[in-house]
Amino acid sequence: MENKYEVVKSRIKEQLLANKIKPGEKLPSIRAASEQWACSVNTAIRAYQELEKEHLIYSVPKSGYYAVLRSASSLQSTVERIDFSAASPDPQVMPYKDFQHCLNRAIELYEDQLFSYSDPQGFFSLRRELESHLASSQVFASPSQISVVSGGQQALHLLAAMPFPNGKNAVLVEQPTFHGMLRCLELFGVTTLGIERGADGIDLDELERHFRNNQIKFFYTIPRFHNPLGASFTETQKKEIARLAERYDVYILEDDYLADMEVTAKADPIYSYDQSGHVIYVKSFSKIMLPGLRLATVVLPASLMETFRMFKASCDSSTSVLSQAALELYLKCGMYEHHSAMVREHYQARMQALGDACKRHLSPAFRTEIVKGGIFSRILLPDWINPNDLIAGLHHQNVRITSTDQNYLRTFPRDNGVRVSIIQTDEDQIEKGIRLLAETAASIEEKQKKDGYWRVIDWT
C-alpha cells in the first residue's frame, strides 16, 4: 500500500508530465497542497522534497516551489530508434547523482574561488589530482605540465592554430581519422597530409618518409580504439612512432579519448615511450561521464607550455572552475574509477554482442573489424552497396548509422564503409540493427539485379 506522500507525489508528477503545470510555473504552497490533497503539512513537504530530488521541481527560499520539467510534447519519442551513429555516452550510465554530490561539495569547499577568473592552465588542486590519475595510465607528468581544457576538441583547436618550436607548418593525419580534427585543420587552412591507417596500423616506412621529406609540425594519431576504425596500435608500433618523432623533430599529438576503456593491462600510450619531449597527450572525460561538462586534460612538453597557455588564455580565459572542482572531488573519492569500470564492462559486452551479430547476419562479402574494447567499429561494405543507399534505407526503419566518408581528407581515397557505434545501444538493439542492416543490403542488391541500378531516395 502506497504511503500518502507517494500518492501526492504521483498526482503532481502526472500534472507535470501532462503540462498542466508548465515549466517555470509556481506550485501551490505547502499549506494549499495539504488542503488540496487532504493530507498533513509534513506529507506535502515530503512529496515536494521527493519531486525536488528527481529534479522535477526546485525551491526558491521564501517564495515556494517551481516546475522545471519540459512539457510532454518535448519529451523523447516512444518510437524505438537504434542509434549506431552516436558518440555521446549512454544517458542510462551517466553518473548524474554522484556528480551532483561532487558539485554541491565543491561549492561548499571552494565557494570563494569558483565564480571568479582562474588560471588558464586549470584549477591547481585538480591538476595535482590529475597527476596521480594519469600516472595509473603510465603518463607521468607534474602539475606544471598539465593543462585543463574545455573538452578535447578545444585542445585540438588550440594546437592546430599555434606555432611549434620545430618551425614546421604541415600536419599529418591518419586516414581515416576523427572528423572534428579534419574540420579544425580545414578551418585554419593548415596544410594537411594523410597516411593510410587500417586494422593493422600504419606503414611505418611511409611514416618515416613523411617525417623526413615533409615539414610536419605534428602527427595527429588515435592509437587506442581509433575513431572510426576501433583498432589500436601494437606496442612495437607505438615505440617506433616515438623514436621517429625524436629523430626527425616531429611532435606527436596523441588523442587518447578512450583511455579508460582499455581492456589490456599493459597497453600503454605513446607518451610512455617518449624520451625527448615530442609527445603531446590529450585525454577527454566526455565518453566516460558527462560530455556537457566539457572537460579534458592535455600534457605538454615544456617547450610548448608557454605558447599553449597564451593561446588558451586568449580563447576563453579559463575552463569552468565549478566543473573542474567537481571533477577533482569525483576523482579523489574514487567515484571516477568505479564508474569507468562499470562503463567499460557495459561497452565491452555490447562490442561482444556486435561481433556475434555480425557473424550471424553478415555474409563474408562484408568485412567486419570488431575489437574487444572501445565503442566504434567499421564495417566495409561490398563494392555494389553504396553507403548512402544503405544509410537512407536504414534511416527509414529508424536505424541511424554513418558513413566513414566524413573521416577522410577531400583528396584522399575513401573506403566503402560505415561506422558502427555501440555507445547508445543495448544487446537487443544491436542484434536487431545488424539484422536490419543485412536485410536492407540484400534488398538493395536484389533491386540492383532486377533494375540494373537502384538508388534509395534520401529520406528526410
Q: What is the pLDDT of residues 322-355, one digit of tens each?
A: 788 888 888 888 888 888 888 888 899 999 999 9
pLDDT value for 117: 65
pLDDT value for 457: 44
- Sorted by sequence, the CB contacts under 8 Å of residue 53 that are 6+ apart come out as none
pLDDT value for 6: 86
CATH of the domain spanning 111-333:
3.40.640.10
Instruction: Give the pLDDT mean for 358-379.
Output: 92
Regarding pTM above 0.75, the answer is: yes
Q: How far apart are CA 449 and CA 209, in angstroms?
A: 45
- CATH number 1.20.120.430 is the correct assignment for the domain at 4-73: no
Q: What is the pLDDT of residues 21-61, one digit of tens each?
A: 877 788 899 999 888 988 898 998 999 988 887 778 877 76
Q: What is the pLDDT of residues 112-139, one digit of tens each?
A: 666 666 788 888 989 999 999 999 889 9
Q: Which residue type occupies 63? A: S
Domain boundaries, the chain: 4-73, 111-333, 337-451
Give the model's confidence band at 452: pLDDT under 50 very low, under 70 low, under 90 confident, else very high.
Answer: low
Q: What is the pLDDT of residues 192-223, one digit of tens each?
A: 999 999 999 999 999 999 999 999 999 999 99
Instruction: Select the more confidently predicted residue: 168 or 54.
Output: 168
* pLDDT surpassing 70 at residue 73: no
In this structure, the number of other CB atoms found within 10 A of the CB of residue 37 comes to 19
CATH of the domain spanning 337-451:
3.90.1150.10
pLDDT value for 215: 97
- Sorted by sequence, the CB contacts under 8 Å of residue 224 that are 6+ apart come out as 232, 233, 256, 258, 259, 261, 262, 267, 269, 374
Q: Which residue has the cell 528527481?
A: 54
Mean pLDDT, the chain, rounded, equals 87
> Is 185 exposed, middle or buried (CB count within 10 Å of its CB: 0-12, 13-18, 19+)?
buried
Instruction: Select the more confidently predicted residue: 441 or 4.
Output: 441
* pLDDT surpassing 90 at residue 279: yes
Q: What is the pLDDT of residues 89-102, one digit of tens each?
A: 777 766 667 777 77
Cα first-last separation, the chain: 49
Q: How far apart are CA 404 and CA 415, in angstroms?
A: 7
